[in-house]
């Protein structure tokens, strides 16, 4: 059957109607049973049918009311298509829950809505999923499934692992938009002040921002739509330098973690020399404070260096900075104090601790303080007005004591005393010579201790003096004069210590041969001096002559003035015997 029916209503109420070619109706068409059109169906008015199977196109100018529609060709609706059942497009509509209305698309697509209008009615779009007759979700074919639906003002995206065709589906929610909030992997909003975007799960979770290799990934915090209000806070990853940057109060960088893991807080230095760099134009660089759980004498803040090292640094509420160890650093259990800097700046050690500076190893285990450098020094800075500073320095085994300047470096000071590597003590000089270098010297030579006093001016001053009870008791001048309040010089003379005792052979004859003289010293040490000439005495009493250290003469002669006394005594005794003999002769002659 083929043809055209003009502008009048047509009703097909036979058991079935089959049209093998095109059918055009100029008015309404009502089909009460099945109707098959082999070609194109054109209806100018209203198309009403229980079941309609069209192999070609359908062109309806008016309203179409259909229970089941199977259309192989195109649909051109000038008005409304009303399908009271399910609609299959590119596929046959299958059985679904009676409470839903479905559109089946292709082989596995499905759009459904609740049949009844209500406040909690749902709209769903699914791939490989439908609601079956018993009102449960099932797979259309054997494969994974996914679903999006709207209900009660929120949007939900779900997925399911692969299942068999016709088997029930167990959905896993992937994401939802709930009252303007985006929830990924969860239905919980967690904290109300941060629930606009929630990413949750039972394993590792994350958010990825992918940028160009020379560009940056950003998170902006805004409180306005213009100026710096658009980016009051920024978290930025700069891929060109692989740096993580943090900004506050607009485009002001406050913190940076560079590509090597170094952290800079404050400042703007692009190069960081330390693992942690804190820069500030203010006085305080970093403040750490514990505000609760504090009792007198306990640590307000503990910094644990390493879990295994058991090293703890503590700041307490008494203003002390404490270093120690703990058997359990995380709880400070078993804490043992080793070093304390108290609120007065005093440094205290306990438990036999050693102080080591400038050395990581090789320090003396039996020393309480060890300083290590090429020339270690201790500097004493006197804070009194215009007071000189002082220092102790060790260089190549020489210990130097310095002062005499307000300078703030050891190099500003003058050396006053040293103990050299041989154990010699030198005051006022660094030369241990007996004759060169003005100063006082205690020198060890051939297992003997020697004391040298070297002066620059022999015309005045004393090289050695004894003072007691308001008087100079003894002193030796640089001119060589010995002065004493006592003329007694005692020397040991115990008979028990002597042997080979004989009478002295020298006496009056030798004394008479001596030539007392007056002379001037060529170096200016004295003029019109009374004394003897060593060479002249040597011809008479050679035992009285010895050697003398001299800068110009290698064999300068000295006279042992004290040793002439026994000869003088013997001479007087001889002279007295002669006097007595003469006196006796005079007396005899006078008688």
Q: What are phi and psi of 38, to 5 degrees?
A: -75, -20
Higher pLDDT, 127 or 16: 127
Strands 517-519 and 529-531: antiparallel
Q: Are 154 and 267 in a shared domain?
A: no
Rounded to whole angstroms, the Cα distance separating 464 from 197 reads 93
The average pLDDT across 574-591 equals: 93
**378 in any annotated domain:** no
CA 353 vs CA 100, 237, 284, 303, 322: distances in Å: 83, 46, 31, 20, 13
| Domain annotation covers residue 584 | no
Per-residue model confidence as pLDDT tens digits over 367-383: 888 888 899 999 999 88
pLDDT, tens digit (0-9, with 9 covering 90-100), for 398-413: 999 999 888 889 999 9
Is the pLDDT reported for residue 125 higher than 90? yes
Within-domain flag for 181 = yes
Q: What pLDDT is recorded for position 298? A: 47
Instruction: Kindly tell me if the per-residue pLDDT of 2 is higher than 50.
Output: no
Give the range with max mean pLDDT: 111-115, 190-194, 295-299, 531-535: 531-535
In 3D space, the residue among 111, 201, 122, 109 whose CA is nearest the CA of residue 155 turns out to be 122
Residues 395 and 472 in one domain: yes
> What is the predicted pLDDT for the residue at 242?
94
Residue 289, SS3? coil
Domain holding 347, by residue range, is 305-371
Encode pLDDT of 103-116 as tens digits: 889 889 999 888 77
**What is the per-residue pLDDT across 23-75, written as a single tens digit (0 to 9) for each?**
777 666 777 666 777 667 777 666 666 666 666 666 666 556 565 555 665 66
- Residue 274 burial by Cβ neighbours in a 10 Å radius (0-12, 13-18, 19+): exposed
User: Could you tell me if 413 and 352 lie in one domain?
Assistant: no
Q: Is the pLDDT of residue 516 over 50?
A: yes
Asked if pLDDT for residue 227 goes beyond 70, the answer is: yes
Q: Same domain for 95 and 152?
A: yes
Binned at pLDDT 50, 70 and 90, residue 572 comes out as very high
Residue 564 confidence class, pLDDT cut points 50, 70, 90: very high
* Within-domain flag for 284: no
| pLDDT tens digits, 451-506 | 889 888 877 788 889 999 988 888 888 888 888 888 888 889 999 999 999 999 99
Q: What is the pLDDT of residue 317?
A: 60
Q: Of the candidates 262, 278, 294, which is a domain's last residue?
A: 278
Find residue 391's DSSP bridge partners.
379, 402
8 and 115 share one domain: yes
Do 366 and 395 lie in one domain? The reply is no
Provide the domain count of the chain: 5
Mean pLDDT of 510-518: 95
| Secondary structure of residue 511 in the 3-state scheme | helix
Mean pLDDT of 440-454: 88
Q: Would you say the C-alpha torsion 507, 509, 510, 513 has a positive or negative sign?
A: positive
Average pLDDT over residues 290-318: 54
- The answer to whether residue 591 is domain-embedded is no
pLDDT for res 246: 93
Final residue in a domain of this structure, among 168, 199, 230? 199
Q: Which of 175-189, 205-219, 532-546 has the lowest mean pLDDT?
A: 175-189
Note the pLDDT tens digit of each residue in 166-207. 999 999 999 999 888 988 888 888 888 888 889 998 899 899
Q: What is the pLDDT of residue 1?
A: 41
Do 228 and 97 lie in one domain? The reply is no
- Together in a domain, 521 and 475: no
Specify if 356 maps to a domain.
Answer: yes
Both 74 and 38 in a single domain?
Answer: yes
Give the per-residue pLDDT at 12.
Answer: 55
Q: What percent of the chain has pLDDT over 90?
A: 38
Residue 517 and residue 550 in one domain? yes
Residue 390: name the closest of 371, 370, 417 by CA. Answer: 417
Looking at every residue in the chain, the average pLDDT score rounds to 82
List the Cα angle 504/506/507 in 5-degree steps: 105
Say if 588 falls within a structural domain. no
Section 231-240 average pLDDT:
94
Contacts of 408 (CB under 8 A, 6+ apart): 381, 389
Backbone angles phi, psi at 544, to 5 degrees: -85, 0
Q: Quick one: pLDDT band at residue 541, thresholds 50, 70, 90? A: very high
List, in sequence order, every residue forming a beta bridge with 353; answer none if it has no partner: none
Confidence at residue 296, expressed as pLDDT on a 0 to 100 scale? 42
Structure tokens at 466: 């004894």
With tokens 């050396």, the residue in question is 415
For the full predicted model, state whether its pTM sits above 0.85: no
**pLDDT at residue 289 in the model:** 57
- Shared domain check, 140 and 10: yes
Q: Do residues 313 and 423 both lie within one domain?
A: no
| Of 12-26, 268-282, 449-463, 565-579, the least confident | 12-26
Q: Is residue 498 part of a domain?
A: no
């Amino acid at each position: 059957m083929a043809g055209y029916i003009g502008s009048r209503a047509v009703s097909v109420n036979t058991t079935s109607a089959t049209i093998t070619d095109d059918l055009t109706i100029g008015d309404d068409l009502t089909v009460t049973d099945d109707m098959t059109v082999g070609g194109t169906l054109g209806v100018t008015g209203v198309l009403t049918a229980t079941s309609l199977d069209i192999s070609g196109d359908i062109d309806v100018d008016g309203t179409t009311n259909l229970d089941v529609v199977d259309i192989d060709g195109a649909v051109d609706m000038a008005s409304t298509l009303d399908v009271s059942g399910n609609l299959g497009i590119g596929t046959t509509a299958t059985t679904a829950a009676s409470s839903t209305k479905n559109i089946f698309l292709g082989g596995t697509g499905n759009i459904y809505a609740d049949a009844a209008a209500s406040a909690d009615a749902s709209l769903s779009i699914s791939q490989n999923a439908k609601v079956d007759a018993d009102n449960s979700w099932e797979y259309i074919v054997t494969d994974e499934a996914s679903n999006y639906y709207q209900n009660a003002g929120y949007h939900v995206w779900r997925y399911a692992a692969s299942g068999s065709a016709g088997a029930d589906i167990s959905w896993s929610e992937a994401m939802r938009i709930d009252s303007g909030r985006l929830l990924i992997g969860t239905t919980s909003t967690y904290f109300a002040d941060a629930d606009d975007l929630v990413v949750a799960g039972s394993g590792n979770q994350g958010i990825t921002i992918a940028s160009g290799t020379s560009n940056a990934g950003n998170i902006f915090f805004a409180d306005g739509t213009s100026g710096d209000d658009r980016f009051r806070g920024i978290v930025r990853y700069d891929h060109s330098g692989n740096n993580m940057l943090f900004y506050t109060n607009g485009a002001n960088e406050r913190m940076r973690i560079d590509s090597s893991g170094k952290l800079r807080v404050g400042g703007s230095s692009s190069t960081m020399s330390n693992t942690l760099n804190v820069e500030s134009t203010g006085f305080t660089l970093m403040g750490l404070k514990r505000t609760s759980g504090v009792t007198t004498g306990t640590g307000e803040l503990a910094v644990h260096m390493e879990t295994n090292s058991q090293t703890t640094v503590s700041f307490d509420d008494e203003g002390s900075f404490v270093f120690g160890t703990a058997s359990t650093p995380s709880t400070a259990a078993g804490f043992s104090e080793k070093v304390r800097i108290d609120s007065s700046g005093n440094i205290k050690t306990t438990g036999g601790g050693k102080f080591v500076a400038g050395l990581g190893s090789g320090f003396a285990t039996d020393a309480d303080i060890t300083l290590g450098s090429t020339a270690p020094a201790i500097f004493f800075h006197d804070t009194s007005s215009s007071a000189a500073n002082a220092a102790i320095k060790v260089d190549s085994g020489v210990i130097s004591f310095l002062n005499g300047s307000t300078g703030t470096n050891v190099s500003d000071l003058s050396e006053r005393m040293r103990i050299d590597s041989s154990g010699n003590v030198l005051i006022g000089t660094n030369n241990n010579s007996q004759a060169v270098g003005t100063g006082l010297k205690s020198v060890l030579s051939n297992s003997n201790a020697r004391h040298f006093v070297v002066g620059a001016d022999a015309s005045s001053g004393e090289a050695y003096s004894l003072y007691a009870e308001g008087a100079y008791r003894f002193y030796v001048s640089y001119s060589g004069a010995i002065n004493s309040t006592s003329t007694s010089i005692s020397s040991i003379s115990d008979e028990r210590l002597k042997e080979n005792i004989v009478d002295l052979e020298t006496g009056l004859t030798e004394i008479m041969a001596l030539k007392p003289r007056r002379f001037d010293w060529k170096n200016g040490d004295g003029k019109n001096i009374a004394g003897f000439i060593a060479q002249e005495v040597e011809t008479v009493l050679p035992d009285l002559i010895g050697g003398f250290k001299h800068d110009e003469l290698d064999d300068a002669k000295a006279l042992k003035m004290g040793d002439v006394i026994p000869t003088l005594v013997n001479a007087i005794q001889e002279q007295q015997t002669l006097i007595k003999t003469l006196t006796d002769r005079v007396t005899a002659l006078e008688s």
